[in-house]
A and B are shown apart, each in its own frame.
Chain A
Amino acid sequence: MSELTVKSGQGGARTRELVAAGIGKRYRAERRFRIFGLVAIVSALVFMALLFASIIGKGYTAFVQTEIRLPISYDVAVIDPEGVRDAAEMRRANYGKLYRDGIQSLFPEVEGRTDRRLLNGLVSSGATFEIRDAVIDSPDLIGKKGEIWVPAADDVDMLVKGRIDRNEPENTRRVSDKEIAWVDALQKDGRLETRFNWRFFTQGDSREPELAGIWGAVAGSFLTMLVTLLLSFPLGVATAVYLEEFAPKNRWTDIIEVNINNLAAIPSIVFGLLGLAVFLQFFGLPRSAPLVGGLVLTLMTLPTIIIAARVSLKSVPPSIREAALGLGASKMQMVTNDVLPLAMPGILTGTIIGMGRALGETAPLLMIGMVAFIVDIPHGFTDPATALPVQIYIWADSAERAFVERTSAAIMVLLAFLIVMNAAAVILRSRFERRW
Chain B
Amino acid sequence: MENSHVRDAMHTPTETEGSAAAMGAKIQAQGTNVHYGDKHALKDVTLDIRAGEVTSFIGPSGCGKSTFLRCLNRMNDTIDGCRVSGTVMMDGEDIYDPKIDVVQLRARVGMVFQKPNPFPKSIYDNIAYGPRIHGLAANKDELDEMVVTSLEKAGLLAEVKDRMDSPGTGLSGGQQQRLCIARAIAINPEVILMDEPCSALDPIATAKIEELIDELRENYTIVIVTHSMQQAARVSQRTAFFHLGELIEVGDTEQIFTNPRHKLTQGYITGRFG
Q: Across the interface, do B108 and A4 meet the contact criterion of CB distance under 8 Å?
A: no
Q: Across the interface, do A20 and B104 meet the contact criterion of CB distance under 8 Å?
A: yes
Contacts of A9 in B (CB 8 A): 190
User: How far, in angstroms, from A14 to B142 measured CA to CA in the complex?
Assistant: 14
State which of A21-29, A120-128, A256-264, A322-330 sits at the interface with chain B.
A21-29
The residue on A at minimum CB distance from B104 is A19
Dominant SS among interface residues on chain A? helix
- A15 CB contact (under 8 Å) in B51, B52, B108, B221: B108
Contacts of B52 in A (CB 8 A): 1, 4-5, 8
The residue on B at minimum CB distance from A30 is B103
User: How far, in angstroms, from A189 to B101 measured CA to CA in the complex?
Assistant: 77
Contacts of A284 in B (CB 8 A): none
Q: Across the interface, do A8 and B190 meet the contact criterion of CB distance under 8 Å?
A: yes
Interface assignment of A181: CB less than 8 Å from any CB of chain B: no
Contacts of A21 in B (CB 8 A): 135
User: How far, in angstroms, from A108 to B107 measured CA to CA in the complex?
Assistant: 94
User: How far, in angstroms, from A11 to B136 measured CA to CA in the complex?
Assistant: 11
Encoded as 1 (CB less than 8 Å from any A CB) or 0, chain B from 162 to 189 comes to 0000000000000000000000000111
Interface assignment of A399: CB less than 8 Å from any CB of chain B: no
Chain B 207-241 residues near chain A, CB threshold 8 A: 218-221
Contacts of B218 in A (CB 8 A): 4, 7
Q: Across the interface, do B134 and A8 meet the contact criterion of CB distance under 8 Å?
A: no
The residue on B at minimum CB distance from A8 is B219
The residue on A at minimum CB distance from B219 is A8
User: How far, in angstroms, from A2 to B23 measured CA to CA in the complex?
Assistant: 10
Interface assignment of B24: CB less than 8 Å from any CB of chain A: yes
Interface assignment of B79: CB less than 8 Å from any CB of chain A: no
Min distance, Cβ A234 to any Cβ of chain B, angstroms: 44
User: How far, in angstroms, from A20 to B52 measured CA to CA in the complex?
Assistant: 24
A7 with B219, Cβ < 8 A, contacts A18-B135, A26-B103 known: yes
User: How far, in angstroms, from A296 to B263 measured CA to CA in the complex?
Assistant: 76
Contacts of B220 in A (CB 8 A): 8
User: How far, in angstroms, from A9 to B188 measured CA to CA in the complex?
Assistant: 10
- A19 CB contact (under 8 Å) in B24, B51, B103, B219: B103
Interface assignment of B158: CB less than 8 Å from any CB of chain A: no
How many contacts between A and B, using CB within 8 angstroms?
55
User: How far, in angstroms, from A21 to B189 measured CA to CA in the complex?
Assistant: 16
Interface assignment of B1: CB less than 8 Å from any CB of chain A: no
A16 with B219, Cβ < 8 A, contacts A4-B52, A11-B188, A26-B133 known: no
Contacts of B189 in A (CB 8 A): 12, 15
User: How far, in angstroms, from A5 to B25 measured CA to CA in the complex?
Assistant: 11
Contacts of A20 in B (CB 8 A): 104
User: How far, in angstroms, from A393 to B194 measured CA to CA in the complex?
Assistant: 64
User: How far, in angstroms, from A230 to B124 measured CA to CA in the complex?
Assistant: 61
Q: Across the interface, do A4 and B134 meet the contact criterion of CB distance under 8 Å?
A: no
Contacts of A23 in B (CB 8 A): 101, 103-104
Q: Across the interface, do A16 and B107 meet the contact criterion of CB distance under 8 Å?
A: yes
Contacts of B135 in A (CB 8 A): 18-19, 21-22
Contacts of B103 in A (CB 8 A): 19, 23, 26
Encoded as 1 (CB less than 8 Å from any A CB) or 0, chain B from 81 to 111 comes to 0000000000000000000010110011000
Q: Across the interface, do A5 and B51 meet the contact criterion of CB distance under 8 Å?
A: yes
User: How far, in angstroms, from A22 to B133 measured CA to CA in the complex?
Assistant: 9
User: How far, in angstroms, from A15 to B108 measured CA to CA in the complex?
Assistant: 8
User: How far, in angstroms, from A7 to B190 measured CA to CA in the complex?
Assistant: 10
The residue on B at minimum CB distance from A3 is B52
Min distance, Cβ B218 to any Cβ of chain A, angstroms: 6
Q: Across the interface, do B136 and A18 meet the contact criterion of CB distance under 8 Å?
A: yes
Chain A 399-413 residues near chain B, CB threshold 8 A: none
User: How far, in angstroms, from A390 to B188 measured CA to CA in the complex?
Assistant: 67
Contacts of B187 in A (CB 8 A): 15
Encoded as 1 (CB less than 8 Å from any B CB) or 0, chain A from 301 to 316 comes to 0000000000000000
- A12 CB contact (under 8 Å) in B133, B134, B136, B190: B190
Min distance, Cβ A61 to any Cβ of chain B, angstroms: 49
User: How far, in angstroms, from A21 to B134 measured CA to CA in the complex?
Assistant: 9
Min distance, Cβ A261 to any Cβ of chain B, angstroms: 27
Q: Across the interface, do B134 and A19 meet the contact criterion of CB distance under 8 Å?
A: yes
User: How far, in angstroms, from A99 to B220 measured CA to CA in the complex?
Assistant: 101
User: How far, in angstroms, from A15 to B220 measured CA to CA in the complex?
Assistant: 14
Q: Across the interface, do A4 and B219 meet the contact criterion of CB distance under 8 Å?
A: yes
Encoded as 1 (CB less than 8 Å from any B CB) or 0, chain A from 290 to 302 comes to 0000000000000
Min distance, Cβ B257 to any Cβ of chain A, angstroms: 22
Min distance, Cβ A286 to any Cβ of chain B, angstroms: 58
Contacts of B101 in A (CB 8 A): 23
Contacts of B104 in A (CB 8 A): 16, 19-20, 23
User: How far, in angstroms, from A7 to B221 measured CA to CA in the complex?
Assistant: 11
Min distance, Cβ A259 to any Cβ of chain B, angstroms: 33
User: How far, in angstroms, from A4 to B24 measured CA to CA in the complex?
Assistant: 12
Contacts of A26 in B (CB 8 A): 103, 133
The residue on A at minimum CB distance from B137 is A18
Contacts of B51 in A (CB 8 A): 4-5, 8
Contacts of A15 in B (CB 8 A): 107-108, 134, 136, 187-189
- List residues of chain B with CB under 8 Å of any chain A CB: 24, 51-52, 101, 103-104, 107-108, 133-136, 187-190, 218-221
Known: A12-B188, A15-B108. 15 other contacts (CB 8 A): A1-B24, A1-B52, A2-B24, A5-B51, A11-B188, A12-B189, A14-B188, A15-B187, A15-B188, A19-B103, A19-B104, A19-B107, A20-B104, A22-B134, A22-B135
6 nearest CB pairs, A to B? A22-B135, A12-B190, A4-B52, A11-B188, A19-B107, A15-B188
**27 contacting pairs across A/B (C-beta < 8 A):** A1-B52, A2-B24, A4-B51, A5-B24, A5-B51, A5-B52, A7-B218, A8-B52, A8-B190, A8-B221, A9-B190, A11-B188, A11-B190, A12-B188, A14-B188, A15-B107, A15-B187, A15-B189, A16-B107, A18-B136, A19-B104, A20-B104, A21-B135, A23-B101, A23-B104, A26-B103, A26-B133
